[in-house]
Amino acid sequence: MNPSNLIPVADTLTAHWGWFQFLLMLTFPLHLLAMNAMLGTALIAFVAHFFPGQQYRDLSHGLAKALPFLVAFTVNLGVAPLLFVNVLYGHLLYTSTVLMGLFWLAVIPILIIAYYLAYIYDFSFKRLGNAGMFVILLVLLLLLLVGFVFSNNMSMMIAPSSWERWFATPGGSLLNLADPTLLARYLHMITGALAVGGLCVSLYAQVVLKRQPLVAEAGVRIGMQCFSWLTLLQLVVGTWFLLTLTPEVLKRFMGGDTLATAYFGAGLLLALATLVTGFRRQVLATVWLTVPLVYLMSFMRDSVRSGYLAPYFDPAKVSVSVQWSPLLLFLISLVGGLALVVWMLMQLPSLKKSARQD
Ligand code: HEM
């Protein structure tokens, strides 16, 4: 069957597609950064249980306190890109979501259990003692499972040729396991996530845990080692992912598409620079290099999506019927929401001061 016949008609856009593309590319890396911090925090809280010394217990405890917030940030920062990706690619994403509906719906109970366990790990840290390491391990594994479900969906939505399997298996239980890119893509995502997560832990230890110098030192050391060694490993995993792409898509990064090649070149240079600052344990310099690197990798990932969809779909060709009022309302709410968040953050120091006086 011709895969194009399986693709539903795309909905009309209410503004030029560039608006939605811009907002998707702005918000998705924010979800990634929060997700990375969440996974890295869970990993290092777990690993610290294996080190002898009170400072490592205190490090796990400090990270346990941050984890529930990071889960909430990851989920909330996932909503915005989910909306924008649905506007641009909804007819593809809805289809792949239906094909794997059982696993997709399972994300909600899995997340609820992981979130609940993260609170248990935080609130009962002292009572759990060393058993806490099994709780945090379970949290980490459940969150990694959620990431795996996402990688399946994001890779299946760009592979309409795999959809006809539904006629033989219509129960919503399809994954994308036969896709040669899936494992490399997922491992590339997770290696990067745990590396950047290690960097976030170092920053958290350096800034938030600085009143406990031994704990802060332990956090910076483990976090930067995690960042640097996993980034080194990423050179191998990333190359593997690149080589699993079809020749047409790979060619985009090798001069076939000027912008994609520029992303790749700049990304590689930034990754090498982070290795230097990472192994030197220069936390802030590494953060400044890593944030643009995460953005560049998201742009590359988007170029992979466009490359795979090129024979079937181009959002730039979808018909547009401009409705300014929803966009205007969205932009006003966005600015208002951001102002509110900034105001709340500015209130934090005075709240902390009055809590200490009480
Ligand atoms: C809390 C656990 C979560 C983890 C570990 C996680 C992890 C990931 C990973 C690894 C990807 C990339 C998949 C790939 O391209 O191969 C991804 C993409 C995505 N995630 Fe999450 N995610 C989580 C929760 C969520 C939630 C709750 C939402 C929505 C409310 C969400 C929204 C998205 C969206 C929209 C994308 C794709 C965006 C795009 O393709 O442009 N995520 N996530």
- What does the pLDDT read at residue 299? 98
Residue 118 lies in a domain: yes
Q: Taking Cα atoms as reference points, which of 35, 32, 24 lies closest to residue 86?
A: 24
With pLDDT > 90 as the criterion, what percentage of the chain qualifies?
A: 93
What is the maximum alpha-carbon separation in the chain? 71
Residue 55 lies in a domain: yes
Burial class of residue 313 in the structure, from the number of CB atoms within 10 Å of its CB (0-12 exposed, 13-18 middle, 19+ buried) = buried
Best mutation site among 35, 43, 79, 177 for ligand 1, i.e. most ligand atoms within 8 A of its Cβ? 35
Strands, DSSP E only, in the chain? Answer: none
Residues 202-214 pLDDT 10s: 999 999 999 999 9
Residue nearest to atom 10 of ligand 1 (CA): 147
Q: For the stretch 326-340, what's the b/e string if a residue is b when 16 or more beta carbons lie within 10 angstroms of its beta carbon?
A: eeeeeeeeeeeeeee
Q: Taking Cα atoms as reference points, which of 223, 45, 200, 205 lies closest to residue 135?
A: 45
Q: How far apart are CA 245 and CA 181, in angstroms?
A: 6
Residues 69-119 pLDDT 10s: 999 999 999 999 999 999 999 999 999 999 999 999 999 999 999 999 999
Residue nearest to atom 16 of ligand 1 (CA): 151
Q: Is 44 in the pocket of ligand 1 (CB under 6 A)?
A: no
Q: Is 189 in the pocket of ligand 1 (CB under 6 A)?
A: yes
Number of domains composing the chain: 1
> How many CB atoms lie under 10 A from the CB of residue 149?
17
Contact 189, 147 (CB under 8 A): yes
Residue 184 lies in a domain: yes
Q: Is 151 in the pocket of ligand 1 (CB under 6 A)?
A: yes
- What does the pLDDT read at residue 355? 66
Q: Is 147 in the pocket of ligand 1 (CB under 6 A)?
A: yes
Residues 218-276 pLDDT 10s: 999 999 999 999 999 999 999 999 999 999 999 999 999 999 999 999 999 999 999 99
Q: Is 73 in the pocket of ligand 1 (CB under 6 A)?
A: no
Residue 73 lies in a domain: yes
CA angle 101, 105, 109 (to 5 degrees): 155
- What does the pLDDT read at residue 356? 65
Grade residue 28 by pLDDT with cuts at 50, 70 and 90.
very high
Residue 258 lies in a domain: no
Q: How far apart are CA 118 and CA 95, in angstroms?
A: 33
Q: Is 188 in the pocket of ligand 1 (CB under 6 A)?
A: no
Averaged pLDDT score across all residues of the chain: 96
Residues 113-147 pLDDT 10s: 999 999 999 999 999 999 999 999 999 999 999 99
Residue 2 lies in a domain: no
Q: How far apart are CA 290 and CA 234, in angstroms?
A: 14
Q: Is 28 in the pocket of ligand 1 (CB under 6 A)?
A: yes
Note down the domain range covering 129.
14-229
Residue 165 lies in a domain: yes
Residue 210 lies in a domain: yes
- What does the pLDDT read at residue 120? 98
Residues 37-55 pLDDT 10s: 999 999 999 999 999 999 9
Contact 34, 77 (CB under 8 A): yes
* First-to-last C-alpha distance (Å) of the chain: 71
